Chain A
């Protein structure tokens, strides 16, 4: 299998400038793959996938009666980002996270940005992730969002855009680390010849970020990761991160509030918990403060948090910035709080809550992608160009019924990366989710999760919608 016949076509290709002409940073990899004998690439791909299955690097499929897990399909042709290009993304992501944190602190505090008329108050108050009980909260060190996964895409002309920010419990970083481990054993020679930035520092940075939240003067703060349990689709990741950091993985039922502290039940009695990396949504974390029917959380946790005896990452209430209508205002936030221009632009976005925008959206449904403001995982969206008239009509009704909850964006032509499909190489659309940690400083893990749409021509990369993943190499030429 070789790249000789591979044609990037009329798309932005991450590895090729044009047919037969790899991008300079991709050259050694392409040479290496071209030198493999027929079938060897495929064989390595299968070996990599079966290694992942054996290691149990899986996600749980909801609704499967046997409680089976699947591996997140993995493609061994990596996506390569040139180091100089990455440097710009790196700066852009830091800028964005800093502004978003200032924004969250502001709206649960003085609300200056609202008072100054930059963002309408109704928009903030109607965001599903806006939590009234968080007003007036002062999280440790003033940081709200410690862990972010920001989705980036690249358009046909090579321009990068921020597609969305995941500020609640972004998942996928475990695949970044495990994909890299598998890739190192798949292409060891390539790793020796190319200068690929390592990703393995993530768990150490994550632990530092969490320790930074511990109430002051504790010699040995007790950090835990809280998971909804083994049936959660991202359970593998929760367990992996706890293991990599060497901290306990707990479920709500392991925890209890006693004597004013959060404590965990051990075989020798209760033990105090100082920092929680939570992988449970806000709504479920404390049935006394939020959803009373939640069995996943810990009653009374919010009081401990408010009293300053507990650090939580991400802080409760950060989901407000996950809202896709709020996302549209990030460029203004950056200008307002930092006095800078946005380094990585947003995708142009129409807010259906705005009457003029709404008319435009309804008139152009066949050209736009419409998304529900609060959904994730590729649910609740309409890809106008691929939808039937009936589907569009149905969606138009939904938008009219609740315009605030919808945004629309032009259909982007996502960049592509050569990918093994069956037994040949084909260009498939990708996005990129880098992971950003905000502790003492802001750290961006070099690379991130490249998600790839494995269905021919598909633009949907979510794992719950049949997407796969690739390793992402940040490479110095």
Chain B
């Protein structure tokens, strides 16, 4: 498969997944506000903080008002990680590989983008929840269509890797929201308010019911454990790593547990690190610190995948006169840099 095509399918999936997760971020806050005691400061700032793009927001909007945050994260065309921008990039990626993906996949990305584009000027607070639900559904629809209509070949596996790495990153950020949401005072730890916040967090990862079935009671340590280390829940970080690694080895043919190139090694290492970790270890490091390190490692995995499969440098001896300009690389680097947080 062409390196460029593999790269585009990978990013197509990352961006669709990213758009979905931004909808999840905002939606969790909309829910929280409804349950928060009156007079409590609305917690919109953390949302901007976890994106890692707070300075950009500051520069463009100044004040942290709910409508500003929503505009920025959902509909801002000049912000490369807004839902609208993500879908535009996803669509461009899909368009560049139309001959490889199924036509249903293309139609779904196209329709998804149009839906968000048309919603952009019409949004109001009352209809937002519906809108975010639609975004989540459209994303599920896309991955379902991809699963059911595209041959599970190399391209499909690259798409899986893109989606799962993006999802692992975003689950970690959803968890990090709790770090930034301050309770009114230390005495509130373990109170109803605290519990409500953890529940919202679970909901935004679509993890609430699944968590309840497993643990019954809401307990911060167990919630973190579920979202990071659960082996079976499809949005947990460990689950994402396990399956991304499996796809990577399907592509290379190297048996899982061994490695032949730096990408396999980086991902394998990250996955096995989680295999042998306990939630106590994580809390010892500090949850927020653990998440920071994890996100850096994830960026490293993304970079080694790029180097190993997408970046194939031209044979320099054949083209010495011309300095190779790989717009492939610049495009991807921009996308990596603009990844939420850095």
B102 CB to nearest chain A CB (Å):
10
> What are the 5 closest A-B residue pairs judged by CB atoms, nearest first?
A243-B99, A258-B315, A265-B312, A267-B309, A242-B99
Chain A proximity mask over B278-309: 1 for CB below 8 Å, otherwise 0? 00000000000000000000000000000001
Nearest to A225 among chain B residues (CB) is B99
Chain B residues with CB below 8 A from A177, complex form: none
Contact A55 B2, beta carbon cutoff 8 Å: no
B96 CB to nearest chain A CB (Å):
5
Chain B proximity mask over A254-270: 1 for CB below 8 Å, otherwise 0? 10111000001111111
A66 vs B1: C-alpha distance when bound (angstroms)? 30
A344 vs B111: C-alpha distance when bound (angstroms)? 46
Contact B4 A251, beta carbon cutoff 8 Å: yes
A56 vs B104: C-alpha distance when bound (angstroms)? 11
Q: What are 11 of the A-B contact pairs (CB < 8 Å)?
A: A54-B111, A56-B106, A230-B95, A239-B99, A240-B99, A253-B4, A254-B2, A254-B3, A257-B318, A267-B6, A270-B312
Q: Does B33 contact A (CB under 8 A)?
A: no
Chain A residues with CB below 8 A from B96, complex form: 229-230
Which among A54, A229, A248, A287 is the interface contact of B2 at CB below 8 angstroms? A248
Contact B98 A253, beta carbon cutoff 8 Å: no
Question: Given that A54-B107, A230-B92, A267-B3 are contacting pairs, would A243 and B98 also be in contact in the complex, using a CB cutoff of 8 Å?
Answer: yes
Which of B40-48, B49-57, B144-152, B324-332 is the interface stretch?
B324-332
* 18 additional A-B residue pairs with CB within 8 Å, beyond A54-B110, A253-B4: A55-B107, A56-B106, A66-B88, A230-B96, A235-B95, A243-B99, A256-B315, A256-B319, A258-B315, A258-B318, A264-B2, A265-B312, A266-B1, A266-B312, A267-B6, A267-B154, A288-B321, A288-B322
Q: Does B103 contact A (CB under 8 A)?
A: yes
Contact A253 B322, beta carbon cutoff 8 Å: no
Q: Does A211 contact B (CB under 8 A)?
A: no
Contacts between chains A and B (CB distance < 8 A), count: 81
Q: Does A250 contact B (CB under 8 A)?
A: yes
Contact B98 A239, beta carbon cutoff 8 Å: yes
Q: Does A299 contact B (CB under 8 A)?
A: yes
Contact A56 B2, beta carbon cutoff 8 Å: no
A295 vs B106: C-alpha distance when bound (angstroms)? 28
Q: List A164-180 residues whose CB lies under 8 Å from chain B.
A: none
Which among B6, B95, B314 is the interface contact of A256 at CB below 8 angstroms? B314
Chain B proximity mask over A273-307: 1 for CB below 8 Å, otherwise 0? 00000000000000110000001000110000000
Q: Does B137 contact A (CB under 8 A)?
A: no
Chain A residues with CB below 8 A from B107, complex form: 54-56
Contact A250 B95, beta carbon cutoff 8 Å: no
Q: Does A339 contact B (CB under 8 A)?
A: no
Contact B3 A266, beta carbon cutoff 8 Å: yes
Q: Does B251 contact A (CB under 8 A)?
A: yes
Chain B residues with CB below 8 A from A251, complex form: 4
B205 CB to nearest chain A CB (Å):
32
Give B residues with C-beta under 8 Å from A: 1-6, 88, 92, 95-96, 98-99, 103, 106-107, 110-111, 154, 158, 251, 309-310, 312, 314-315, 318-319, 321-322, 325-328
Q: Does A48 contact B (CB under 8 A)?
A: no
Q: Does A347 contact B (CB under 8 A)?
A: no
Nearest to A257 among chain B residues (CB) is B318
B77 CB to nearest chain A CB (Å):
8
Nearest to A60 among chain B residues (CB) is B95
Q: Does A63 contact B (CB under 8 A)?
A: no
Nearest to A271 among chain B residues (CB) is B2
Among A254, A256, A267, A299, find the residue whose CB has the most chain B CB atoms closer than 10 A.
A267
A247 CB to nearest chain B CB (Å):
8
Chain B proximity mask over A127-162: 1 for CB below 8 Å, otherwise 0? 000000000000000000000000000000000000
Chain A residues with CB below 8 A from B315, complex form: 256-258, 270
B288 CB to nearest chain A CB (Å):
36
B325 CB to nearest chain A CB (Å):
6
Q: Does A67 contact B (CB under 8 A)?
A: yes
Contact A253 B321, beta carbon cutoff 8 Å: no
Chain B residues with CB below 8 A from A295, complex form: 325, 327
Chain B residues with CB below 8 A from A268, complex form: 1
Chain A residues with CB below 8 A from B99, complex form: 239-240, 242-243, 248-249
Chain B proximity mask over A298-327: 1 for CB below 8 Å, otherwise 0? 011000000000000000000000000000
Chain B residues with CB below 8 A from A258, complex form: 315, 318
Chain A residues with CB below 8 A from B2, complex form: 248, 250, 254, 264-267
A268 vs B260: C-alpha distance when bound (angstroms)? 13
B250 CB to nearest chain A CB (Å):
12
Contact A253 B95, beta carbon cutoff 8 Å: no
Among B107, B312, B321, find the residue whose CB has the most chain A CB atoms closer than 10 A.
B312
Contact B319 A257, beta carbon cutoff 8 Å: yes
Contact A267 B1, beta carbon cutoff 8 Å: yes
Chain B residues with CB below 8 A from A66, complex form: 88
Chain A residues with CB below 8 A from B309, complex form: 267
Q: List A393-438 residues whose CB lies under 8 Å from chain B.
A: none
A248 vs B8: C-alpha distance when bound (angstroms)? 14
Contact B328 A253, beta carbon cutoff 8 Å: yes
A239 vs B3: C-alpha distance when bound (angstroms)? 17
